[in-house]
Amino acid sequence: MNKINEKIITLSFAVFGFLLGLSVHLILKSFSAAFAFIARVNENDLFKHGVPVVLGLGIFIYLQFNKKTMDWAREVYQEISKVVFPSKSDTSALTIVVIVFVLISSVIITLFDFVSSFIVKGIIN
Protein backbone atom coordinates (compact mmCIF):
# COMPACT_ATOMS: atom_id res chain seq x y z
CA MET A 1 0.00 0.00 0.00
CA ASN A 2 1.44 3.35 -0.94
CA LYS A 3 2.10 6.27 1.39
CA ILE A 4 -0.89 8.34 0.23
CA ASN A 5 -3.30 5.64 1.39
CA GLU A 6 -1.55 5.49 4.78
CA LYS A 7 -1.81 9.28 5.07
CA ILE A 8 -5.53 9.17 4.28
CA ILE A 9 -6.07 6.50 6.96
CA THR A 10 -4.04 8.50 9.50
CA LEU A 11 -5.96 11.67 8.65
CA SER A 12 -9.25 9.78 9.08
CA PHE A 13 -8.17 8.58 12.52
CA ALA A 14 -7.07 12.12 13.45
CA VAL A 15 -10.42 13.57 12.37
CA PHE A 16 -12.23 10.89 14.38
CA GLY A 17 -10.12 11.70 17.44
CA PHE A 18 -10.87 15.42 17.02
CA LEU A 19 -14.60 14.78 16.66
CA LEU A 20 -14.58 12.57 19.75
CA GLY A 21 -12.79 15.27 21.75
CA LEU A 22 -15.23 17.92 20.53
CA SER A 23 -18.19 15.71 21.40
CA VAL A 24 -16.86 15.05 24.91
CA HIS A 25 -16.29 18.79 25.39
CA LEU A 26 -19.86 19.59 24.33
CA ILE A 27 -21.29 16.80 26.48
CA LEU A 28 -19.38 18.06 29.53
CA LYS A 29 -20.61 21.59 28.81
CA SER A 30 -24.22 20.38 28.56
CA PHE A 31 -24.00 18.19 31.63
CA SER A 32 -22.45 21.02 33.65
CA ALA A 33 -25.65 22.99 33.07
CA ALA A 34 -27.73 20.08 34.35
CA PHE A 35 -25.62 18.61 37.17
CA ALA A 36 -24.01 20.67 39.91
CA PHE A 37 -21.21 18.16 40.52
CA ILE A 38 -20.11 18.24 36.90
CA ALA A 39 -20.40 22.03 36.87
CA ARG A 40 -18.00 22.29 39.84
CA VAL A 41 -15.52 19.89 38.26
CA ASN A 42 -15.90 21.56 34.87
CA GLU A 43 -14.82 24.92 36.32
CA ASN A 44 -11.27 23.59 36.37
CA ASP A 45 -9.69 24.44 33.01
CA LEU A 46 -7.42 21.42 33.15
CA PHE A 47 -10.48 19.15 33.41
CA LYS A 48 -12.61 21.16 30.96
CA HIS A 49 -10.02 21.14 28.20
CA GLY A 50 -7.76 18.29 29.26
CA VAL A 51 -10.27 15.44 29.29
CA PRO A 52 -11.47 15.98 25.70
CA VAL A 53 -7.90 16.40 24.43
CA VAL A 54 -6.64 13.32 26.26
CA LEU A 55 -9.58 11.21 25.03
CA GLY A 56 -9.24 12.43 21.44
CA LEU A 57 -5.48 11.92 21.41
CA GLY A 58 -5.83 8.56 23.15
CA ILE A 59 -8.32 7.22 20.63
CA PHE A 60 -6.12 8.47 17.77
CA ILE A 61 -3.05 6.73 19.18
CA TYR A 62 -5.03 3.55 19.84
CA LEU A 63 -6.42 3.45 16.30
CA GLN A 64 -3.16 4.40 14.64
CA PHE A 65 -0.98 1.85 16.41
CA ASN A 66 -3.40 -1.06 16.73
CA LYS A 67 -2.48 -3.66 14.09
CA LYS A 68 -6.00 -5.07 13.74
CA THR A 69 -7.50 -1.61 13.26
CA MET A 70 -4.90 -0.64 10.68
CA ASP A 71 -5.45 -3.90 8.77
CA TRP A 72 -9.20 -3.26 8.83
CA ALA A 73 -8.71 0.32 7.60
CA ARG A 74 -6.47 -0.87 4.76
CA GLU A 75 -9.09 -3.43 3.71
CA VAL A 76 -11.81 -0.78 3.81
CA TYR A 77 -9.70 1.54 1.67
CA GLN A 78 -9.04 -1.24 -0.85
CA GLU A 79 -12.76 -2.06 -1.08
CA ILE A 80 -13.72 1.60 -1.48
CA SER A 81 -11.20 1.98 -4.28
CA LYS A 82 -13.06 -0.78 -6.18
CA VAL A 83 -16.33 1.19 -6.20
CA VAL A 84 -17.36 2.41 -9.62
CA PHE A 85 -19.46 5.55 -9.51
CA PRO A 86 -22.07 6.23 -12.22
CA SER A 87 -21.37 8.79 -14.90
CA LYS A 88 -22.84 12.27 -14.80
CA SER A 89 -25.42 11.44 -17.48
CA ASP A 90 -26.53 8.29 -15.63
CA THR A 91 -26.86 10.24 -12.40
CA SER A 92 -28.90 12.96 -14.12
CA ALA A 93 -31.20 10.44 -15.80
CA LEU A 94 -31.81 8.50 -12.58
CA THR A 95 -32.46 11.75 -10.68
CA ILE A 96 -35.14 12.68 -13.21
CA VAL A 97 -36.70 9.22 -12.88
CA VAL A 98 -36.81 9.57 -9.08
CA ILE A 99 -38.41 13.04 -9.31
CA VAL A 100 -41.06 11.77 -11.74
CA PHE A 101 -41.92 8.82 -9.49
CA VAL A 102 -42.12 11.08 -6.43
CA LEU A 103 -44.51 13.38 -8.28
CA ILE A 104 -46.67 10.45 -9.46
CA SER A 105 -46.83 8.96 -5.96
CA SER A 106 -47.69 12.34 -4.43
CA VAL A 107 -50.57 12.75 -6.90
CA ILE A 108 -51.87 9.25 -6.06
CA ILE A 109 -51.63 9.88 -2.30
CA THR A 110 -53.36 13.26 -2.71
CA LEU A 111 -56.21 11.63 -4.67
CA PHE A 112 -56.62 8.94 -1.99
CA ASP A 113 -56.67 11.66 0.67
CA PHE A 114 -59.38 13.66 -1.11
CA VAL A 115 -61.49 10.56 -1.79
CA SER A 116 -61.18 9.27 1.77
CA SER A 117 -62.01 12.69 3.28
CA PHE A 118 -65.07 12.92 0.97
CA ILE A 119 -66.22 9.45 2.09
CA VAL A 120 -65.66 10.24 5.81
CA LYS A 121 -67.55 13.56 5.51
CA GLY A 122 -70.39 11.71 3.76
CA ILE A 123 -70.55 9.11 6.56
CA ILE A 124 -70.48 11.77 9.31
CA ASN A 125 -73.18 13.93 7.68
Say what the pLDDT of residue 112 is.
96
Residue 1 pLDDT exceeds 60: no
pLDDT tens digits along 103-120: 999 999 999 999 999 999
Alpha-carbon distances, residue 5 vs 15, 31, 81, 102, 113 (angstroms): 15, 39, 10, 40, 54
- Mean pLDDT to the nearest integer, 64-85: 92
Helices and strands counted in the chain (H then E): 5, 0
Query: What residues does each domain of the chain span?
Result: 1-83, 85-125
pLDDT of residue 43: 87
Q: What is the pTM of this model?
A: 0.65
